[in-house]
């Protein structure tokens, strides 16, 4: 690799300047490429996290909808318990119905203790 002292004429200095400019341009392009790669990697990570979060939310939503459907079904099969009104926590009327009618297949035994 030539040293700066090796460039003695104006033409040599022009060549040096031209080469430096090209090298700087290449470095800038490489830097932009690295920044672009880093940005894309960060966006991919965020998207992956977003997809994971969305999947978790949808899973919880599905569970809630299934529970709601179960409560509707229970309310139709056992209207005396008023499942549609207690939202999973026994109201006074619901607890009174438990005393009168006992437990159904929809009741959580662990909750009754």
Return the domain boundaries, the chain.
8-58
Confidence of residue 2 (pLDDT cuts 50, 70, 90): low
Say yes or no to pLDDT of 6 above 70.
Answer: no
Q: What confidence tens digit (pLDDT) does each residue in 10-59 have? A: 777 777 777 777 777 777 777 777 777 778 778 778 777 777 777 888 88
For the full predicted model, state whether its pTM sits above 0.85. no
Contacts of 4 (CB under 8 A, 6+ apart): 16
């Amino acid at each position: 690799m030539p040293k700066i002292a090796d460039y003695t004429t104006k033409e040599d200095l022009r060549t040096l300047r031209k080469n430096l400019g090209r090298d700087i341009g290449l470095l800038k392009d490489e830097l932009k490429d690295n920044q672009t790669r880093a940005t894309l990697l960060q966006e991919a990570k965020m998207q992956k996290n977003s997809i994971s979060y969305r999947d978790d939310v949808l899973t919880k939503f599905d569970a809630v909808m299934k529970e709601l459907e179960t409560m509707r079904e229970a309310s139709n099969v056992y209207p005396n318990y008023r499942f549609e009104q207690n939202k999973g926590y026994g109201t006074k009327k619901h607890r009174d119905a438990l005393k009168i009618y006992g437990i159904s297949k929809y009741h959580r035994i662990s909750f009754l203790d």
